[in-house]
Structure 1
Amino acid sequence: MGRHSLPDEYGAAAPDRRPRARGRTVAIATVLVLTAAAGTAVAGRTGLLPLGGSCADEAVRVDVVAAPDIAPALRQAATHIREQEVTSDGHCMDVRVTARDAYRVADALRAGKGGDYEVWVPDSALWLDRAVSDTDSTSVTPTGNLAATPVGVAMLPSAARSLGWPSKTYSWAELAATATEGDKLRLGTADPARSAPGLLALTMIGASASAAGDDDDTQVAAAAKILASRMSDSDGQVLDTLARDASGTEQGNPRRNQAVILTEQAAHRHNAGAGEEDLGLFYPKDGAPLLDYPFALVDERGQSTDESRAAVRLMTFFGEPEGRRLLARHGFRPESGDPDESVVTAAGGRTPQPYDQDGFEPPAPEAVQETLGMWTITVQSARLTTVVDASGSMGQPVPGRGQSRMDVTKASLIQALSQFTPDDEIGLWEFATHLDGDKDYRKLVETRRLGDRDGKGKAHRDRLTAAFGDLTPVPDGATGLYDTTLAAYRAAQESYVSGKFNALVILTDGVNEDPGSISRSSLVAELEGLRDTDRPVPVIAIAVGPAADKEEVKEIAEATGGSGHQVSDPAQIHAVILKAIMEAGSTV
């Protein structure tokens, strides 16, 4: 599918950089920064500390990169701070704001890039987790939250009325079911891999469907397929997919959406636009997750004391009356998430829609991560060859479980299998020394579509599930990792299928124990030589248990453009596989 950069509707050209003060070699403790900034904030509440005459020459510059939806509010705050000569430790502040998609910033920081700005304000803490998920990541230090806005489903008036808005309330699962019933409701979203509202909504659909008894995730998979067919690349584009004319002519166009996953703030901004039809906003009764707009210092160690204190002074401004009023004018709630009646009404919320939800528990990070993995394999079918360690050590017990490593591994693989669609292709190998004559590996199940059936009508999914269940440790078998990896990688390359996400998943609970095998350095060199960027097959290598070597699997996997992981409990395997697929799928 096509990818497009977000149009910079806020005029967010990146500012020219100036020479920066980099005097500190030791990071300022956040508590000290907050203490100093709090003192300034107390003074600020009695007046905005105007200085006599111009202080431009002495101003401390603070560069901010922010999510496009909150960037205009930050720019207005910057103008107010400059005009009123708000100070930090006696210095005026020159705040410059650049709008940039949060997923782009997170990926850059995770790769160790960035750091040419002091502050990052993404729309969700989800991006902070992504930004620091690698050992080479640029440091990011959260210091608080600026604002909040709930995620709901916004609809054109005709569609909203047909569903009984505002009197009738729906769960996330019920709204998703409506969207999957033929052409009853054409529902769009921004790409959940690039949109926090899209990802949180899809996670809530899954939780809601599970609570309603959908144990096999069929409803969330169906919803994901529908959303994938009506997906926009970014949050900035999703409103453009709505039908625009009130006559109904365009609203009958099947390529135009009648509803979209949207935040209250985005609906507020849309409804305030000249000539736009006001949207009705559904707040699902099982909870509307909040975007929380974290305020984070970037590469705090590299900032001067003046820069970091001025940055936090900027944050405290939004806790003051003028800052809170400014956020409300832009359609945001305060960081507590408490509703503002005027904001809700302007955004299309009406009683009895449950826009004030005390006690709502947001989805756990693990649930969000699994949803992202599921989304990745839903929008692009996968072709995976799973290679499982069958050495004798896989028979050892898992502490506290009363099961062997192999037993827990099999259960986790079967659980992961449930997340894949009939169009996905999956196969199975096992490996241990001298498993098949002189070979350390054996192919058990061909890599084929899960929906394919054999001559007896048995689905490939069922055959693979049975093969997972039959995996048994070889009592005297050792870990023949290197020869197996090379052979499986060559086979995966030879059977590469265009248009699918091709990958090799290797699970091992130990280091290579075959003295007659290829060396690690030779294996890495071979893999690097075989790697083909036009036909990528990343290796996802998972070290299971304390005896496995994460650095070994990481080195092997990264030679192919893949990733290495370690889990202490084999029950974590299915979540790691989905996370790794998501990460690898975003780079191939």
Structure 2
Amino acid sequence: MGRHRGRYAEEAPGRSRRRRGRGGAFAALAAALVIVVGLAGVGVYMFGNSGGCGGSDIRLDVAVSPELAPAVDAVARDFNLTDTAVDGRCVHVEVRQVDSANVAFGITGSGATMGDTDSDVWIPDSSVWPRIVQSQSGDAVLTDTGTSVARSPLVVTELAAYAEEAEAPTTWMDVVPTAAPGEQAERTVRVVDPARSSTGLGTLYLLNGALEEASPDAETFNAAMTAALQSLHRGASADEEAAFLALSGGGEEAPPLMVMSEQAAWRYNSAYEENAVRVDYLEGGTYYLDYPYLVRTEDSVLTRAAEEFRTAIRSDSARGHILAEGFRGPEGEVDTSVLSGDHGFLEAAPEELATPSEGSITDLTRTWNQMKMDSRVLAIVDISGSMLAEVPGTGMTRMQVTGAAATQGLEMFTPSSELGLWQFSTNVNNNLHYQEIAPIRELQATADDGSEHRAVLSQALGSLQPLPQGDTALYDTYLAAYQEMSRTYRPDRNNVILMLTDGDNDNPGGLDLDGLLTQIEAIASPSRPIPIITIAFGPDVQNLEPLQEIAAATGGASYMTEDPTEIGDIFIRAFSLRISEPED
């Protein structure tokens, strides 16, 4: 296995040899003879390495999470001066800073990696990484020694300027971003991509737990979690450095919050003194980064060398280096001159929550990635005559309320999501019962006149006009939409049909329910899912059962309300299908 020197690698001290002058050589030889004669006089002459070691060094390659690398490198420098030996050979520790996700994905092959992930010892920032490795690559050589090199709890941070003005959160539920699409959030919550950051994953874990406790049922939880995830996606950064830069710049109308480790908050304040953050410790406990000491070799010599360095890294002197870099020690001890109370740091260690299980890690990562995957949606709006009816208490027609709600729903989608718009009734397009108003394109795509597709859709939704004599060719339109989405299916996106209607199928001579389900079954493929989501509203919807059968056949959902003004909330519930448990 090749060894590469990283930025912290040092040549073994005392191993270089300089050419001596002849006079120096005679003096050294004379001194050596005196020592030998003296030892021989008392019968103590010894060969070998009394207080030292000989032969070639044993190079111990240690890969460390970047923020901990300076402290571990300082420990390694001290260790290398001790001439610690295994089988008479000096152990020389070389420290490299390597992103934890980079190593984990290098072992499992389940994510992007920059390479250079081999090492004899691995100290990631969290125990979640070896759990991911063990769940995805059970045969990987990875021994958990039970040693936590350092610890750092997750805390909530906000810019000190905002902390003086805004009410500080007290529980994790206070941190959950719950603003609906189009609404201004009270706080902007920033997070580092949980797919590559244990801090980001820990944030999801904490917010997920808070929502579970606050939600009376699974549907309520899924809807709330969907809203939270969408908000978090908008404030997500690819890495910690990018998150720090965005946080320091401010610029948001709402006071920004960010969950990070104590040590990260200390590092941030060191780099951005003019825009320092203040930390808060929330009720209910928190998740810790625990920096486990892991051995990745079965070689007997290297294993013993790793054990020697493990002993060194647990020493009092090593702990001094670790605390000086803003970490807590293995028992929660802290250097208050480093983590100062001036920025809200507390000496007492906060309550620790258990590290997420392998199943929780998998579920949360899947949920985040599903929400991150862009959507490809064909939205279909009913323009039958009944859409002219007025919605009580609004002064607006069903058509106007639907258009406004659908426009608000556009805010749920990322700029790179693809959306298209159809309208339907009966005979709206010569002999067809449906008509394309806007093709399926990315929301950020621009038309010939320079307008974005999102604006085109918004204008189209506000301009839809009901047909006074139009009926509701619901089933024929479902089939046409399913055929179109199947023909143009994109495997890298969530392909969805979204139907907005205020009535039951009403098209004598048209397709019936059995005929629709039969034709969908002939087209459908488990590897190319196209869920149909229907939002039915108004008193004219008499029977939801057919819509439920269509939803069941396609893996979608159907919702009904007599109040079209509730469509916005239903959008959230429909979107939460993306975080539901996958079927076996």
Instruction: Calculate the TM-score normalised by the size of structure 2.
Output: 0.55
Q: How far 1:207 moved relative to its partner?
A: 0.8
Deviates more, 1:91-100 or 1:324-333: 91-100
Give the match for residue 333 of structure 1. 328
State the distance in 1 between where 2:233 and 2:291 align. 26
| SS at 2:244 equivalent | helix
State the distance in 1 between where 2:547 and 2:533 align. 7
Q: Deviations over 1:187-211 (max 9, x none)?
A: 2111000000001111110110111
Q: How far 1:363 moved relative to its partner?
A: 3.8
Task: Answer whether contact 1:426 1:449 (CA < 8 A) is retained.
Answer: yes
Give the match for residue 226 of structure 2. 221
State the distance in 2 between where 1:189 and 1:461 align. 38
Specify the structure having the higher radius of gyration (Cα).
2
Aligned partner (choices 60, 63, 70) of residue 61 of structure 2:
63
Is 1:155–2:158 an aligned residue pair? Answer: yes
Give the match for residue 193 of structure 2. 191
Deviates more, 1:457-466 or 1:98-107: 457-466
One-letter code aligned to 2:172: W
Give the match for residue 248 of structure 2. 243
1:9-28 to 2 correspondence within 5 Å? 12-13=6-7
Give the match for residue 361 of structure 2. 368
| SS at 1:242 equivalent | helix
Give the match for residue 567 of structure 1. none
Q: How far 1:71 moved relative to its partner?
A: 1.4
Give the match for residue 317 of structure 2. 322
One-letter code aligned to 2:371: T
Give the match for residue 293 of structure 1. 291
Structure 2 residue ranges without an equivalent (≥5):
13-48, 378-411, 418-493, 498-516, 557-577
Q: How far 1:242 moved relative to its partner?
A: 1.5
Task: Answer whether contact 2:281 2:350 (CA < 8 A) is retained.
Answer: no
| SS at 1:237 equivalent | helix
Residue 146 and residue 89 in structure 1: after superposition, are their counterparts in 2 closer, same or farther (change >3 A)?
A: farther
Task: Answer whether contact 1:451 1:460 (CA < 8 A) is retained.
Answer: no
Task: Answer whether contact 1:272 1:346 (CA < 8 A) is retained.
Answer: no
Give the match for residue 433 of structure 1. none
Task: Answer whether contact 1:280 1:348 (CA < 8 A) is retained.
Answer: yes
| SS at 1:64 equivalent | strand
Is 1:175–2:175 an aligned residue pair? Answer: yes
State the distance in 2 between where 1:212 and 1:159 align. 27
Q: How far 1:12 moved relative to its partner?
A: 4.6
State the distance in 2 between where 1:276 and 1:183 align. 25
Q: Deviations over 1:105-138 (max 9, x none)?
A: 1111114997742011111111112223345853
Task: Answer whether contact 2:279 2:343 (CA < 8 A) is retained.
Answer: yes
Residue 252 and residue 134 in structure 1: after superposition, are their counterparts in 2 closer, same or farther (change >3 A)?
A: closer
| SS at 2:330 equivalent | coil
Q: Deviations over 1:151-186 (max 9, x none)?
A: 122211022223345xxx521121124787724322
Give the match for residue 78 of structure 2. 80
Count residues in correspondence: 375
Give the match for residue 130 of structure 1. 132
Task: Answer whether contact 1:155 1:258 (CA < 8 A) is retained.
Answer: yes
Q: Deviations over 1:239-262 (max 9, x none)?
A: 121234xxxxxx3456x9833221
1:70-149 to 2 correspondence within 5 Å? 70-88=68-86, 91-111=89-109, 116-135=118-137, 138-144=140-146, 145-149=148-152
Task: Answer whether contact 1:425 1:448 (CA < 8 A) is retained.
Answer: yes
One-letter code aligned to 2:329: P
One-letter code aligned to 2:171: S
Residue 159 and residue 463 in structure 1: after superposition, are their counterparts in 2 closer, same or farther (change >3 A)?
A: farther
Residue 338 and residue 214 in structure 1: after superposition, are their counterparts in 2 closer, same or farther (change >3 A)?
A: farther
State the distance in 1 between where 2:184 and 2:95 align. 44
Give the match for residue 379 of structure 1. 372
State the distance in 2 between where 1:160 and 1:179 align. 21
Q: How far 1:94 moved relative to its partner?
A: 1.4
Task: Answer whether contact 2:533 2:551 (CA < 8 A) is retained.
Answer: no
Q: Deviations over 1:559-579 (max 9, x none)?
A: xxxxxxxxxxxxxx975669x
State the distance in 1 between where 2:348 and 2:210 align. 17
| SS at 1:272 equivalent | helix
Task: Answer whether contact 1:131 1:137 (CA < 8 A) is retained.
Answer: no
Task: Answer whether contact 2:8 2:73 (CA < 8 A) is retained.
Answer: no
Is 1:272–2:270 an aligned residue pair? Answer: yes
Residue 380 and residue 252 in structure 1: after superposition, are their counterparts in 2 closer, same or farther (change >3 A)?
A: same
State the distance in 1 between where 2:6 and 2:548 align. 53
1:486-565 to 2 correspondence within 5 Å? none
Give the match for residue 533 of structure 1. none
Task: Answer whether contact 1:151 1:291 (CA < 8 A) is retained.
Answer: yes
Task: Answer whether contact 2:162 2:255 (CA < 8 A) is retained.
Answer: no
Q: How far 1:93 moved relative to its partner?
A: 2.4
Task: Answer whether contact 1:189 1:232 (CA < 8 A) is retained.
Answer: yes
Give the match for residue 583 of structure 1. none
Task: Answer whether contact 1:141 1:296 (CA < 8 A) is retained.
Answer: yes
State the distance in 1 between where 2:216 and 2:100 align. 32
Instruction: Calculate the TM-score normalised by the size of structure 1.
Output: 0.54
Give the match for residue 260 of structure 1. 258
Q: How far 1:327 moved relative to its partner?
A: 0.9
Q: Percent identity?
A: 23
One-letter code aligned to 1:189: V
CA RMSD in angstroms, aligned pairs only? 4.4
Residue 287 and residue 142 in structure 1: after superposition, are their counterparts in 2 closer, same or farther (change >3 A)?
A: same
State the distance in 2 between where 1:81 and 1:14 align. 14
Task: Answer whether contact 2:177 2:232 (CA < 8 A) is retained.
Answer: no
Give the match for residue 302 of structure 2. 307
